[in-house]
Amino acid sequence: MTEFDPIKHRMVAAQRWFEDFVLGERFVIPSRTQTSAVFAAFQTASGDTHPIHYDVEYCRARGMPDLLAHGFQTLVHTAPGAGLFPYLVEESLIGFLEQSSKFLKPVYAGDTIYPALEVIELAPGRSTGVVTLRSTVHNQRRELVLEGMQKFLVRRRPA
């Protein structure tokens, strides 16, 4: 019988360092349907109480088919922690440096969104490097609803 080692108890097999990332590499984040529970959880976490996000009759009176998701409600699904990325860089990640996003189309209650991250730039330094990821969210109609960028400072492989 093999002895248990908590260091080897990992979601992914191998630790990644800056040198291990490849331009064009994609990290898919699980899809999520924007249910009333997701809307309620976001309202609780954000404190946002505008009726456009929580009152369906208010939305319908303004020509929308359902509740309109807050932009940050959509953005939060691109958090690397929602996928495997943080497990890949448990030992090498130094920090989250920057984030930007564009909200391109509305997301409504009932929509299913498909977030993903893609390596678009690798900027090496002496002992670290910056990994830049393009973040995207598509809906069930294959429309791009959010596009953005995230930068992470990652250690290079130890000598």
pLDDT at res. 62: 97
The tens digit of pLDDT for each residue in 30-84 reads 999 999 999 999 999 999 999 999 999 999 999 999 999 999 999 999 998 899 8
Domains by residue range for the chain, with CATH: 16-155 (3.10.129.10)
Phi, psi of 45 (to 5 degrees): -70, -40
* Mean pLDDT value across residues 136-146: 98
User: For a pLDDT cut of 70, what percent of the chain falls above it?
Assistant: 99
Q: Which has the minimum average pLDDT: 18-22, 40-44, 108-112, 128-132?
A: 40-44
Of the CA atoms within 13 Å of residue 117, those in its CB half-sphere come to 27
pLDDT at res. 144: 98
pLDDT at res. 12: 75
pLDDT at res. 4: 85
Nearest alpha carbon to residue 16 among 92, 111, 81: 92
Query: For residue 47, what are its two tokens?
Result: 């404190």
Residues in CB range of 159: below 8 A, 6 or more apart? none
d(CA 153, CA 94): 5
* Mean pLDDT value across residues 112-141: 98
* Mean pLDDT value across residues 6-16: 78
User: By three-state DSSP, how is residue 6 classified?
Assistant: helix
Instruction: State yes or no: pLDDT of 116 exceeds 80.
Output: yes
d(CA 72, CA 90): 26
pLDDT at res. 1: 66
Residues in CB range of 111: below 8 A, 6 or more apart? 33, 34, 69, 139, 140
Find where tokens 């973040």 sit.
135
Instruction: State yes or no: pLDDT of 21 exceeds 90.
Output: yes
Nearest alpha carbon to residue 135 among 60, 82, 94: 82
pLDDT at res. 6: 81
pLDDT at res. 9: 74
pLDDT at res. 159: 83
User: For a pLDDT cut of 90, what percent of the chain falls above it?
Assistant: 84
Of the CA atoms within 13 Å of residue 109, those in its CB half-sphere come to 20
The one-character DSSP state at 108 is B
d(CA 82, CA 73): 13
d(CA 148, CA 70): 16
